[in-house]
Chains A and B, each alone.
Chain A
Amino acid sequence: MMLSGGMAHAAFGGIGMGYFLNIEPIIGALVFATVSSLGVVAIKEKSKASADTIIGMFWTLGMALGIIFISLTSGYPPDISSYLFGDILTVSKMDLYIMGVLDCIVVFIVMGFFNYIKAYLFDKEFSDIIGINIKLIEYMVFLFIAFSVVVLIRVIGIMLVIALLTVPPAISKLLTYNLRNIMGLSIIFGLLFSLLGLLLSYKLHIASGATIIIVSVCAYIISLVAIKLLKRDVIV
């Protein structure tokens, strides 16, 4: 969770750079998120510092760079809030293509190496002992987190990415403990919340990203309560 937050904020530096160099901000974000995710793994290995410490640094460094780049950009200051809080209506065709490609890469990696990723996430030491190249898997995992974050930035924004990455799996975990099912359910929940949030924001004329988050968190609370109630019924 810290990791996705860190990636998102590091990506902000990329967005700033994108504006500064006059290229698509999402490409800047992608570059920054990728570099910082690989950077976290590499530094973690060399320095023995905990992942959280390093992520914290990338998190703030990204924000700082972003602010500096944007203040250096000449002309009208770009609309930063659409990146901070997301604005699904300003997504360009270019963004859509990039998001599509990233989605495919992430899905491909996860499906292709599912058993290894599961083994790595569950028990790193044992995976190492049976001779799996855990460094490679670690880079892969960090990379696809970076990609997922970049995809989500345009939709709900940097500040809110964390919620959409954590809430759907949290709800799924209440229902099943099979990793494959959790991933599948999370996708469905994520879609559901996004669509519902969009619909509400359209009807009520409020910010789309924020609405999606409110819908997700409410859904989590409701499902938590619902499952508690259901379980009590079973016992009684």
Chain B
Amino acid sequence: MNAIEIEDLNVDYNNVNVLKDINLTIENKEFVAIIGPNGGGKTTLLKAILGLVKPSTGEIRIYGNRQKNKSKFIGYVLQFTKFEKAFPIDVFDVVLMGRLKSSIKIFYKYSKEDIEYAKNIMNMLDIYAFKDRQIGQLSGGQLQRVLIARALCMETKILLLDEPTACLDEQSKVNIYEILKELNKDMTILIVSHDTSFVFSYIDKIACLNQKLFYHGEPELNKNTMDKVYGCPVDAIAHGDIPHRVFRSHEGEL
């Protein structure tokens, strides 16, 4: 069964058409990257999939399911600039947040299984050593792994990530992608990224988004598609063991 099916999706924000006629199918256990310029609607698409943004028209099915509450199926790693880093909370508590259930129970305590589960995931991602640190005392790569761990704690089949490697150095980027590749054995992963040079050595499929979905399929792009999506010449991307790139000259340049 397909993990995510999007059919004729349109999303408008105050009469501005952000996403137009999106059709996208993501199979089970696929690793898909969405690339595209800023303001191209990438985050909006993720939010629509999560049910946080209401589509104007169209339909999104998660494992054939149309219900509104999708948290049972999808774990989400958001851009990490969104919260206050000085907030008094330690790493273990942040990860445990993923174990909270949607129904609010009074005097809810995390069960032993919850704590055990979170521990295993933190060990897997190599962050258990930082469990007592305040969340602001982590490096970017560590913080990103904490957020991935939190999403994994939700025990979902699909993982959405919004620019998980933004602001990270190359080593941390490789590290995150290696983790995702490993997770991809059991999970469907959908990632928004600007790392065009990295993404291609790991993913099965890309989707190029700039209001409309321009291309969707194998990660072998030709110049035309990239130009259409970004509206200007960009790095051409080659596929191989070691990601490498060739710079295409700009129009009128010689």
Contacts and interface: CB of A to CB of B under 8 A. Distances in A.
Interface of A: 111-113, 115-116, 118-119, 121-123, 125-133, 136-137, 173, 176-179, 182
A127 B83 CA distance: 12
Interface in B72-89: 74, 76, 78, 82-84, 87-89
Contacts of A128: 52
Nearest to A133: B104
B107 A112 contact: yes
Contacts of B38: none
Nearest to A116: B104
Given A116-B104, A130-B100, 10 more contacts: A112-B106, A113-B106, A116-B100, A118-B93, A122-B87, A122-B89, A130-B97, A173-B88, A177-B90, A179-B89
Contact of B76 (A113, A129, A132, A133): A129
A122 B146 CA distance: 14
Contacts of B106: 112-113
B144 to A, nearest CB: 14
A131 B69 contact: yes
Interface of B: 50, 52, 69, 71, 74, 76, 78, 82-84, 87-90, 93-94, 97-98, 100-102, 104, 106-110, 134, 150, 154
12 contacts: A116-B100, A116-B104, A118-B89, A122-B83, A126-B97, A129-B52, A130-B98, A130-B101, A130-B102, A131-B71, A131-B101, A177-B88
Contacts of A182: 88
Contacts of B107: 111-112
B154 A177 contact: no
A2 to B, nearest CB: 15
Nearest to A128: B52
A115 B97 CA distance: 8
Contacts of B94: 122
A177 B89 contact: yes
B45 to A, nearest CB: 15
B100 A132 contact: yes
A119 B97 contact: yes
Contacts of B69: 131
A177 B93 CA distance: 12
A131 B51 CA distance: 10
A116 B89 CA distance: 13
A116 B150 CA distance: 15
A130 B88 contact: no
A130 B71 CA distance: 5
Contacts of A173: 88
Nearest to B74: A129
Given A122-B97, A177-B134, A136 B88 contact: no
Contacts of B110: 115
Nearest to B68: A131
Contacts of B154: 130
Nearest to A109: B106
B68 to A, nearest CB: 10
A112 B106 CA distance: 5
Contacts of A123: 82-83, 97
B64 to A, nearest CB: 20
Nearest to B106: A112
